[in-house]
């Protein structure tokens, strides 16, 4: 549902600039310049007020250069419909998705630094007993367009680990190509679910492939059919298609990805350990 630009203007008052940055299932995002300061406003149509409140609460408790800073919440009156919105830090440089769409590709070292930075952001998120659950190129900004300076965006699907009543499963939450096997099975996400997504992101940056996606075979598949296809692949030992990736991936990177993308969450490293593993790969490459 497109949101009327005038509705956003009315909600914000006097503006110097307003730019529609687009959006997706999670909401529509605007860049706002007001009193000389640039911010982003994410308007979330059809959102449960509880989810918006949760995202705001989650963002409020987090302070890290690796996670988008939160300012406040507001309400946009769009033709009589009250739409909740979140205002936060505007990060100049676009997202990883924007960079990939523009044809940019990082070097292996840059990709590793991107993954490392995302993991640093996740450390702060996980320290609050929260799980992001939707790490993907659209949800990682590159400050100044630099691959080594990523910022985690959009905590819309964040889950409070101790509030077991909030998320009733089974339900599909997240973005299919970046989902871990436990998400594909509609099971509860854990911190290492985010580690899998970082592994998927790293795999994409390095090889242009995703763990359980076969672009040719998956054409036309949608929703639950696609989830079931990916789930079936996740239960096969030949997926992710490591054999096909041989020659594309260096041995050290292949080993790292195998750890981050382990089928079972308990077999994956913690975020702290994942950072150590990346540092080891970076150090050996630098020497």
Partner 1 sequence: MPLPPPAQFLLDQPYSKRALLPPVGQEVYIQGGRVPGLLLHWGQVHDEGVVADAASAGRLMPILASPGAKGYGREKIGGHKQAADWIRRKAPQTDAEWDQTVDDAVAAQFQLGTAGLILPSRLLSQPDWPDGLQSALDAARRATAGHPTGDMLVNLIIEEPWILEARLRRTLLNQFTDLPEGLGAAIHIHWSSPERPDQPASLEALRIVVSALANDGRRVLLIESGRLGWLALAWGAWGFTAGLSGASWGRNTAVVRRARGQPATRIARIFDHNLLHSVRQATQARLLAQNGYHQCMCDFCQQQAGRGTWSHDLSEQHGLYSLARLTEHVAAPTLAIRHARVKTIVQNAIAFESGLNFRLTGDSRPLHLPAWQAEL
Q: Which is nearer to partner 1, 113 or 195 (CB)?
A: 195
Q: Which is nearer to partner 1, 42 or 133 (CB)?
A: 133
What is the smallest separation between the CB atom of 133 and partner 1, expressed in angstroms? 13
In angstroms, the CA 184 to CA 203 distance is 18
What is the smallest separation between the CB atom of 55 and partner 1, expressed in angstroms? 21
- Interface with partner 1 (CB under 8 A): 129, 161-162, 164, 182, 187-188, 190-192, 264-267, 270, 272
Find the catalytic residue in 72, 127, 134, 208: 134
What is the smallest separation between the CB atom of 276 and partner 1, expressed in angstroms? 12
In three-state secondary structure terms, 93 is coil
What is the smallest separation between the CB atom of 163 and partner 1, expressed in angstroms? 8
In three-state secondary structure terms, 12 is helix
Query: What are the two backbone dihedrals, phi and then psi, of residue 24, each rounded to the nearest 5 degrees?
Result: -150, -145
134 is catalytic: yes
What is the smallest separation between the CB atom of 136 and partner 1, expressed in angstroms? 21
Q: Which is nearer to partner 1, 162 or 283 (CB)?
A: 162
Catalytic residues: 134
């Amino acid at each position: 549902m497109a949101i009327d630009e005038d509705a956003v203007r009315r909600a914000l008052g006097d503006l110097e600039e307003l730019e529609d940055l687009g959006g997706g299932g999670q909401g529509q995002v605007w860049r706002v310049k007001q009193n000389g300061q640039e911010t982003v406003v994410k308007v979330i149509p059809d959102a449960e007020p509880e989810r918006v409140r949760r995202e705001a609460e989650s963002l409020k408790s987090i302070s890290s250069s690796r996670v988008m800073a939160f300012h406040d919440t507001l309400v946009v009156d769009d033709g009589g419909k009250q739409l909740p919105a979140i205002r936060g830090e505007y990060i100049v440089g676009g997202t990883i998705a924007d960079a990939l769409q523009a044809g940019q590709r990082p070097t292996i070292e840059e990709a590793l630094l991107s993954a490392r930075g995302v993991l640093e952001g996740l450390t702060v998120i996980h320290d609050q007993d929260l799980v992001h659950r939707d790490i993907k190129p659209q949800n990682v900004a590159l400050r100044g367009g630099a691959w080594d300076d990523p910022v985690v965006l959009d905590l819309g699907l964040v889950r409070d680990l101790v509030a077991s009543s909030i998320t009733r499963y089974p339900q599909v939450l997240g973005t299919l190509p970046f989902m871990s096997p436990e998400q594909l099975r509609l099971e509860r996400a854990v911190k290492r679910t985010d580690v899998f997504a970082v592994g998927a992101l790293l795999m994409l940056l390095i090889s242009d492939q995703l763990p359980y996606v076969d672009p040719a075979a998956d054409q036309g598949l949608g929703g639950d059919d696609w989830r079931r296809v990916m789930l079936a692949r996740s239960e096969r030992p030949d997926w992710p298609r490591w054999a096909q990736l041989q020659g594309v991936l260096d041995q050290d990177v292949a080993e790292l990805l195998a750890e981050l993308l382990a089928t079972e969450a308990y077999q994956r490293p913690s975020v702290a350990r994942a950072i150590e593993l990346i540092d080891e790969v970076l150090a050996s490459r630098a020497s």
